[in-house]
């Protein structure tokens, strides 16, 4: 019992550091953007109304939608938009047209994650460093250079993994939450009546009296829940209970106290609107607070960068991106990975965002639209999971998701007003990634169609070969093939040029499925083709780590003796040749050919031993 409590406490502490770092740092800029916009005059009624809207936005979107409803939609213990997409597509698998549309919508939502992944570190770190301006206005010229240095250091250490420093994330973030709560309480004590703003009547009164202003400022209000979707994405790492416990016991109360403290400060010192968060602190605490805020924003950014690595790996295994180099940074935790291309691609784009927008207020204009679109897509996918996956009545499904859809749509529509002011930036990033993903998916489909059209039936081919069998040599040949039951090009080349066949021959197809994990009991499917030849299918979920040699160890019990020292792996290295005619637009075919050329080697992705791989080239016209 005590061990269970200890484990729950450890997981809760970890969840605070990883899951809630982003939403925890929103206190740095959310209130500043609402009152700094100039749309809301400083009156007591308006301050009470805005605080009430903040509180109920946190309650409705995070507490009710994500913590209560969406966390229930786990895909074998996993969460996040990719897991939700897989769950929704499985729920409507008997409706192919609807499934296709949901896949497109879900993939677009996943692409927007990269837009969010650029804005979040930029606005978080920049807003923390801007605290220097409160200490000394003369330090303004150092804000952008210092921000870029901090970001460079953050991305430079990614290849070393977070095992060493990850254990400090939780405690540092807890200290952060305690500090922001203490700052809030110090100002609430000067004006305890501010706590009455918890009543929804103030929010409803503000909305009723100023509907136009409410719609405009929703684009800034949404900043208080950015990062809220992370609690669903990280469910597989920590579990539902620690995430819920951390939210209700620590995160939600501390956020509320700080926002209400900022409100109390603004009632007595309206001039503090330039940076209400840092103006809450006494002069002696400013430098430590800037340091702590910077640490908190770095931790929040780290969680998002790690998320980008995980999402990219999942998307690759679902077949929407080419293989990329994946490096494991921990021998214990297989989930800790590093993708150099994603890491430095994110860094370059973040630097571009910081240099272009120059301040957290300008970045706030770009922030929100990607988050709101993702929230809207999550709500839509949840409806199909509840309706077709869980088989609930239609009226209950509309009741469960309809209210959240209306709320999400209102925030989304308000953020469209910021489209020209910077909202286009994350949409441009998401749109570019979406084009890449669709081009890769369509290109792979065309490639497979071409391979199928030219394919030779494997059992028939082997039957013909063994009428007059070639010489057999010792050892095992593993032929990797994309389509089960067809003759791999590598086998044809081997017979043509070497005129031999190995003693044992395995024709292996790796299949990735729309499920997070596939257990060892379902990993291997094996069929004997006679003459010491076997057809093997290896199954992986989108969170499994592909390792073909390890998987093939399980076939020894099936009558196929496999010795790692005498096994060779034969792969076809295909070169794509774009041609005029049917298929994709010429520019997309050229783009696909370039992506295919630059994809990392299949041998590395499948964890094949380098000294046992033979690659044979071939050309494919699409």
At 166 the pLDDT is: 67
Structure tokens at 575: 């070169």
**Model confidence pLDDT, tens digit, residues 63-111:** 999 999 888 888 777 788 888 888 888 888 888 899 999 989 989 998 9
CATH number of 2-420: 1.20.1740.10
| Average pLDDT for 319-327 | 87
Q: Would you state the pLDDT for residue 73?
A: 83
The answer to whether residues 416 and 369 touch, using CB atoms and an 8 Å cutoff, is yes
Please say if the pLDDT value at position 338 is more than 60: yes
DSSP letter at 601 equals P
Confidence band for 1, pLDDT divided at 50, 70 and 90: very low
- Give the C-alpha separation, 597 to 620, whole Å: 12
d(CA 622, CA 445): 10
Task: Scan for tokens 């209700």, then name that residue.
Answer: 248
How far is CA 401 from each of CA 58, 231, 382, 395, rounded to the nearest angstrom? Answer: 17, 18, 7, 10
Q: How many CB atoms lie within 10 A of CB 530?
A: 10
Q: What span, in angstroms and rounded, lies between the C-alpha atoms of 58 and 77?
A: 25
pLDDT above 70 (res 442): yes
Rounded CA-CA distance 551/543 in Å is: 15
What is the pLDDT at residue 236?
77
Is 181 a residue whose pLDDT tops 50? Answer: yes
Q: What confidence score (pLDDT) does residue 343 get?
A: 93
| Rounded Cα–Cα distance for residues 244 and 230 (Å) | 12
Does residue 446 carry a pLDDT above 70? yes
| Confidence category of residue 205, pLDDT binned at 50, 70, 90 | very high
* pLDDT, tens digit (0-9, with 9 covering 90-100), for 414-424: 999 888 888 89
CA distance 438 to 431: 11
Is 110 in contact with 82 (CB distance < 8 Å)?
A: yes
Please tell me the predicted confidence (pLDDT) of residue 433. Answer: 94
Q: At 141, which helix (H) or strand (E)?
A: helix 140-156
Instruction: Give the residues across from 581 on adjacent strands.
Output: none
Find the mean pLDDT for residues 527-547.
89
Residues contacting 518, CB < 8 A, separation 6+? 539, 540, 541, 544
Dihedral over Cα of 581, 585, 587, 590: its sign = negative
What is the percentage of the chain residues whose pLDDT exceeds 90?
A: 41
**pTM for the full model?**
0.87
Quote the pLDDT of residue 84. Answer: 87
**Residue 479 scores a pLDDT above 50:** yes
pLDDT, averaged across the chain:
88
pLDDT tier for residue 179 given thresholds of 50, 70 and 90: very high
Instruction: Tell which wins on pLDDT, 561 or 54.
Output: 54
pLDDT at residue 566 is higher than 90: no
Helical H runs in 157-285? Answer: 163-188, 200-209, 211-221, 230-233, 235-238, 240-246, 252-268, 276-279
pLDDT per residue as tens digits for the range 251-278: 999 999 999 999 999 999 888 888 899 9
The pLDDT of residue 187 = 95
The pLDDT score that the predictor gives to residue 418 is 87
Total Cβ atoms within 10 A of residue 505: 22
> Hey, what are 506's tokens?
């395995």
Q: Average the pLDDT over each of 160-164, 231-235, 268-272, 293-297 and give the range with the smallest value.
A: 160-164
Are 286 and 278 within 8 A, CB to CB? Answer: yes
Could you give the CA distance from residue 309 to residue 336 in angstroms, rounded to a whole number? 9
Q: How far is CA 67 from CA 240, 408, 477, in A?
A: 8, 16, 51
360 closest CA partner among 289, 274, 258, 256: 274
Longest Cα separation, the chain = 96
* Residue 358, token pair as written in the block: 């120059």
In terms of Cα–Cα distance, which of 331, 405, 413 is closest to 369?
Answer: 413
Domain boundaries, the chain: 2-420, 455-621
Residue 161 has pLDDT above 80, yes or no: no
Tens of pLDDT, residue by residue over 305-322, are: 888 888 898 888 888 999
Give the model's pLDDT for residue 6: 64
- Residue 115 above 90 pLDDT? no
Which helix or strand (DSSP H or E) is residue 474 part of? Answer: strand 471-480
388 pLDDT exceeds 80?
yes
Region for 226 from its dihedrals, namely left if φ exceeds 0, alpha if ψ lies in -120 to 50, beta otherwise: beta
Rounded to whole angstroms, how far apart are CA atoms 55 and 316? 39
CA 200/CA 472 separation, integer angstroms:
80
Q: Degrees (nearest 5) of the Cα angle 578, 584, 588? A: 70
């Amino acid at each position: 019992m005590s061990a269970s409590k200890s484990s729950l406490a450890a997981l809760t502490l970890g969840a605070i550091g990883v899951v809630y770092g982003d939403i925890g740092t929103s206190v740095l800029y959310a209130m500043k953007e609402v009152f700094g916009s100039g749309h809301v005059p400083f009156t007591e009624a308006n301050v009470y109304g805005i605080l009430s809207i903040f509180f109920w936005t946190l309650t409705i979107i995070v507490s009710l939608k994500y913590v209560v409803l969406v966390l229930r939609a786990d895909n074998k213990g996993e969460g996040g938009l990719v897991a939700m997409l897989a769950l929704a597509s499985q729920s409507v698998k008997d409706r192919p047209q609807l499934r296709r549309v949901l896949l497109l919508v879900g993939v677009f939502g996943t692409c927007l994650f990269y837009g969010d992944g650029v804005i979040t570190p930029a606005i978080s770190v920049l807003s923390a460093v801007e605290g220097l301006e409160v200490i000394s206005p003369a330090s303004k010229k150092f804000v952008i250079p210092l921000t870029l240095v901090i970001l460079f250091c953050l991305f430079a250490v990614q290849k070393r993994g977070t095992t060493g420093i990850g254990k400090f994330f939780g405690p540092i973030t807890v200290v952060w939450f305690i500090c922001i709560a203490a700052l809030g309480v110090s100002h609430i004590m000067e004006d305890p009546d501010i706590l009455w703003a918890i009543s929804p009547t103030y929010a409803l009164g503000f909305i009723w009296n100023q509907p136009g202003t409410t719609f405009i400022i929703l684009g800034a209000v949404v900043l208080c829940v950015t990062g809220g979707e992370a609690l669903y994405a990280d469910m597989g790492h920590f579990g539902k209970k620690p995430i819920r416990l951390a939210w209700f016991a620590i995160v939600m109360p501390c956020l509320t106290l700080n926002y209400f403290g900022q409100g109390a400060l603004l009632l007595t010192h309206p001039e503090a609107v330039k940076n209400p968060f840092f103006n809450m602190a006494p002069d002696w605490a400013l430098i430590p607070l800037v340091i702590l805020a910077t640490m908190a924003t770095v931790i929040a950014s780290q969680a998002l960068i790690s998320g980008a690595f995980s999402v990219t790996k999942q998307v690759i295994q679902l077949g929407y991106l080419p293989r990329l180099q994946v490096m494991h940074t921990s021998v214990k935790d297989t989930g800790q990975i590093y993708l150099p291309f994603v890491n430095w691609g994110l860094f370059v784009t973040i630097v571009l965002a910081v240099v272009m927008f120059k301040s957290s207020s300008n970045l706030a204009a770009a922030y929100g639209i990607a988050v709101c679109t993702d929230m809207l897509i999550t709500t839509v996918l949840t409806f199909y999971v509840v309706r077709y996956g869980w088989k609930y009545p239609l009226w209950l499904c509309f009741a469960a998701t309809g209210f959240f859809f209306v709320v999400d749509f209102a925030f989304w529509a308000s953020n469209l007003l910021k489209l020209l002011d910077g909202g286009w930036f994350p949409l441009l990033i998401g749109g570019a990634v979406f084009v890449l993903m669709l081009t890769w998916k369509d290109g792979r489909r065309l490639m497979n169609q071409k391979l199928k059209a030219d394919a030779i039936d494997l059992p028939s081919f082997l039957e013909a070969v063994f009428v007059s069998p070639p010489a057999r040599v010792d050892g095992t040949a593993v032929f990797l093939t994309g389509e089960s039951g067809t003759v791999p090009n590598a086998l044809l080349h081997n017979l043509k040029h070497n005129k031999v066949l190995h003693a044992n021959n395995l024709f292996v197809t790796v299949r990735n499925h729309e499920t997070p994990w596939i257990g060892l009991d379902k990993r291997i499917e094996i069929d004997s083709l006679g003459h010491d030849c076997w057809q093997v299918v290896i199954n992986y979920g989108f969170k499994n780590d592909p390792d073909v040699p390890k998987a093939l160890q399980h076939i020894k019990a099936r009558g196929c003796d496999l010795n790692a020292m005498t096994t060779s792996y034969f792969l076809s290295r295909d070169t794509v040749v774009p041609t005029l005619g049917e298929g994709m637009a010429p520019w997309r075919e050229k783009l696909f050919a370039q992506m295919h050329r630059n994809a990392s080697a299949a041998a590395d992705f499948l964890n094949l031993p380098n000294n046992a791989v033979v690659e044979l080239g071939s050309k494919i016209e699409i």
